[in-house]
Structure 1
Amino acid sequence: MTTTVAYADLPSLVGQDLGFTDWIEVTQERVNVFADATDDDQWIHTDPERATAESPFGGPIAHGFLTLSLTIPFITELLDVEGVTTKVNYGLDKVRFVSPVKVGARVRMGAVIAEVTEVAGGYQLVIDQTIEIEGGTKPAVVARGLSRFYA
């Protein structure tokens, strides 16, 4: 479910739990496209036969940075800020790749607004993001993301 807020009301979001996104499947095709885009074609990601036979994960896994990159579409699913001219992914304060995401697994993200700070011409949100694996006992990624919104 998307939280929709007016730009002027961003400071009121501190502590707001945005809930969870829908689940998405991490397919081999997505992994291969990411490998091509990043020139990271390590066999644990792109060679299902070898990964099944030789890797400690029992099959191919998504790149950690692929899983992390999903925070962008996930946060846009969770938060819509009305009255902005520009949205900027400002970076990350902390990232941990806790558990590998096997190809074929489904993931989703939960997010909480930890801080809202006024910056020149806008607001910066610090968002605690957790990407979980369906049926998993530990998250795939835990990150503290920084997003900026300008009116």
Structure 2
Amino acid sequence: MVIVNSFAEYQAFEGKEIGSSEWHTIDQAQINKFADATLDHQWIHTDEERAKNEGPFGSTIAHGYLTLALIPYLWKQIADIRNVKMEINYGIEQFKFGQPVLVNDEVQLKAKLNSIVNLRGVTKVIIGATLSIKGKAKPAYTGDVVFLYHF
């Protein structure tokens, strides 16, 4: 894990890989809880038998938005940004889903600091995010995550 104590320390990572999270297994219980929370009970996510027999993947798959919702959890495993008064999830940009995450797949977030700028006391960072799936060459997604920090 990378520890960042200031804007200057953060800036030193600009254009560089910051690190990777631990592997996280997305199981059916997590998929079902996400379906309940978002009211998205499409059968490809929640009906294991139908997904196995009728679906194109041979099993249920995680919601794409579930995999995006894991970013804050996985990011905290990569970097500990300290001495901030507030951190804001500001946006996501240019996200592309490369392939579905099947039930019980293990995923890992890889992060690169694409840019950092001081906007009159507010630090805006753009993190290049890639969600890898263990054992698969193509990532689940790639895109940019935008955070605002008040040091």
Q: TM-score range by the shorter chain?
A: over 0.9
* Match of residue 125 from structure 2: 125
C-alpha separation between the residues in 2 aligned to 1:107 and 1:36? 22
Give the drift of 1:120.
Answer: 3.9
List per-residue Cα deviations over 1:60-95 (Å, max 9, x = no partner).
000001011111111111111111011111011111
C-alpha separation between the residues in 1 aligned to 2:25 and 2:118? 36
Q: Secondary structure at the match of 1:66?
A: helix
Q: Specify the code of the residue in structure 1 equivalent to 2:146.
A: L
Give the drift of 1:44.
Answer: 0.2
C-alpha separation between the residues in 1 aligned to 2:28 and 2:103? 6
| Alignment gaps of 5+ in structure 1 | none
* Match of residue 24 from structure 2: 24
* Match of residue 76 from structure 1: 76
C-alpha separation between the residues in 1 aligned to 2:37 and 2:119? 33
Correspondence list, 1:42-57, <5 A: 42-57=42-57
Give the drift of 1:8.
Answer: 3.0
Q: Specify the code of the residue in structure 2 equivalent to 1:17.
A: E
TM-score, L = length of structure 2? 0.95
Correspondence list, 1:1-150, <5 A: 2-9=1-8, 10-150=10-150
List per-residue Cα deviations over 1:22-41 (Å, max 9, x = no partner).
10100000000000111100
| Range moving further from structure 2, 14-23 or 99-108 | 14-23
Q: Give me the identity figure in percent.
A: 35
Counting matched residue pairs gives 150
Q: Which runs of structure 1 show a deviation greater than 4 angstroms over 4 or more consecutive aligned residues?
A: none
Give the drift of 1:13.
Answer: 2.1
TM-score, L = length of structure 1? 0.95
Q: Specify the code of the residue in structure 1 equivalent to 2:74.
A: F
C-alpha separation between the residues in 2 aligned to 1:98 and 1:49? 25
| Range moving further from structure 2, 11-20 or 46-55 | 11-20
| Alignment gaps of 5+ in structure 2 | none
C-alpha separation between the residues in 1 aligned to 2:147 and 2:63? 23
Q: Secondary structure at the match of 2:22?
A: coil
